[in-house]
Amino acid sequence: MQSEPKASLVGEEYEVEVGPVAHGGHCIARTAEGQVLFVRHALPGERVVARVTDGEEGARFLRADAVRVLDASKDRVEAPCPFAGPGKCGGCDWQHAAPGAQRRLKAEVITEQLARLAGLTPEEAGWDGTVEPAPGDKVARGEAPAWRTRVQYAVDEQGRPGLRRHRSHEVEPIDHCLIAAPGVTELGVEKREWPQISTVEAIAATGSSDRQVVLTPRPGGRLPLVELDRPVSVLRVSEPRGRERTRLVHRVHGRPFVRERAAGRTWRVGEGGFWQVHPKAADVLVEAVMQGLMPRKGEMALDLYCGVGLFAGAIGERVGERGAVLGIESSKRAVEDARHNLQDLDRVRIEHGKVEQVLPRTGITEADLIVLDPPRAGAGKETVTRLAALGARRIAYVACDPAALARDLKYFREAGYAPRRTRAFDLFPVTHHVECVAILEPVAKRS
């Protein structure tokens, strides 16, 4: 006998007191009946009317938007973007919070994740409890900084560019993204219609005049003739299964990649290659990793999930001719770029494949230093255990998700490594995202 379908609660409204912030860009509240609500567009301590956006009777929790603020927090500001708010663009979680409050909220999330998933206090993690802004990121109250150098626009059925709504495939059409870097905005993507196109990715390199736009057509769609506000040349690219994409390359260089400048080098990053989206992020993270690892001449190091070689290059320059660096990366395009970028450093070798598959095949049984910058899901227990067995004197863990970092720190503790120092950086202003760098040492060395 089939059970009766549970009634949807979408659209129901509750007047609630907003509790603490939670990971993911929302705060926790409870209805009068004790039902848990994850509420967006609210701040801790406020009293709001929350409208349910997802959930049904008997669910463990409901998702909701704060649609009316009855008692506002002193940290609340008017969102500067007209496309931010309930039911609109899902890209910016904290436009309604003052800049300092945004960083405090992120710090509270990191603290909670470390305690719940790793069993660590901030002191035990070597963290002073602060989230550091990027150099130069001084934003006035109620403003949104223009920092994002890579923006992927979704295109609706009418060909209008926009951004996805929260937890939805629906497109919120926009005519200007406040957090897009000037180099992205100047291309004029938002001013045009894009018939038969699914996504438009706009890229503005840091430290060079390179610009790139990547168009992905809808199934069966035709690629349009394009005129943008900055001169571009067109390169058509065949993808697997016969799908066609077009790269619009700025005529300054006319090549299917952009040149990024960071850590004293120029980096080739092809379409599909990962690069940090904040213009200061690469330098900030390299500095934090190098200060933590303190590489020595002649040491052997691993750079795992190495992308186009950012950390491998920085370490390779410091370990000298008698040293060695092995980088491992799963993206074939990124491996090609990394090998090109580091061709002047004979001591650096880049291997293609997944870390958990390639590392055992190398036969490496020990290393002096390890840096890992895994995807959002983290490295996982099996990889962490294998890394700990290599006996590195220091490990640098770069994390874009505090939950994944906390889980992996727990695995490292079980394998004999503990954080020496952890730093957190606000490299994604007005969103809930935060970047962390944890430096680990063998527990025996710390005791």
Element (H, E) at 222: none
The DSSP symbol for 118 reads I
On whether the CB atoms of residues 10 and 55 are closer than 8 A, the answer is yes
Residue 276 is labelled as binding a ligand: yes
Alpha carbon distance 258, 248 (integer Å): 11
Flag whether 373 is marked binding: yes
CA distance 396 to 166: 33
Contact by Cβ (8 Å): 415, 442: no
Q: Catalytic positions, please?
A: 400
305 carries a ligand binding annotation? yes
Q: How far is CA 439 from the centre of its chain?
A: 19
Q: Quote the CA–CA distance of 301 and 379 in Å, as a whole number.
A: 17
CB within 8 Å of 172: residues ≥ 6 apart: 83, 88, 89, 90, 162, 163, 164, 165
329: annotated binding-site residue?
A: yes
**What is the DSSP code (8-state) at residue 239?**
P
- Do 267 and 308 contact (CB within 8 A), yes or no? yes
Cα 385 to Cα 378: distance, rounded to the nearest angstrom: 13
Residue type, 331: S
Question: In terms of DSSP H, where are the helices of 121-205?
Answer: 182-185
Binding residues for S-adenosyl-L-methionine: 276, 305, 329, 373
